[in-house]
Amino acid sequence: MSKSLGNVVAPQEVVSKTGADILRLWVMNTDVTEDQRIGKNILDQQAELYRRIRNTLRWLLGNLDGFDAAAEILPYDQLPELERWVLHRLTELDAKLRAAQRNHDWTGVYPEIHAFCAADLSAFYFDIRKDSLYCDAKDSLRRRAARTVIDQLHRCLTAWLAPVLVFTAEEAWLARFPSEDDSIHLRDWPVLPEGWKDEALAAKWAALRDARGVATAELEVARRNGLIGASLQARVGLEGDAFAALPAETWEEVLIASQVAVAPGAEAKATVTLAPGQKCDRCWRVLPEVGQSHAHPTLCRRCEAVVEGAPS
Encode pLDDT of 61-96 as tens digits. 999 999 999 999 999 999 999 999 999 999 999 999
Res 263: pLDDT: 95
pLDDT of residue 312: 57
Nearest CA among 280, 259, 282 for reference residue 271: 259
Alpha helices by DSSP H, 137-289 = 141-161, 166-176, 199-224, 248-255
What does the pLDDT read at residue 284? 97
Residue 44: per-residue pLDDT? 87
pLDDT given at position 302: 96
Cα of first residue to Cα of last residue in the chain, in angstroms, is 63
pLDDT at 107: 87
Which pLDDT does position 275 carry in this prediction? 98
Vertex 139 angle, CA 138 and 140, to 5°: 95
pLDDT attached to residue 266: 85
| Segments of the chain scoring below 70 in pLDDT | 1, 311-312
Instruction: Quote the pLDDT of residue 17.
Output: 81
Nearest Cα to Cα of residue 279 among 306, 303, 312, 251: 303
Separation between Cα atoms, residue 218 and residue 158, nearest integer Å? 37
Domains of the chain: 11-197 (1.10.730.20), 210-275 (3.30.2320.20), 277-312 (no CATH)
Q: What is the pLDDT of residue 90?
A: 98
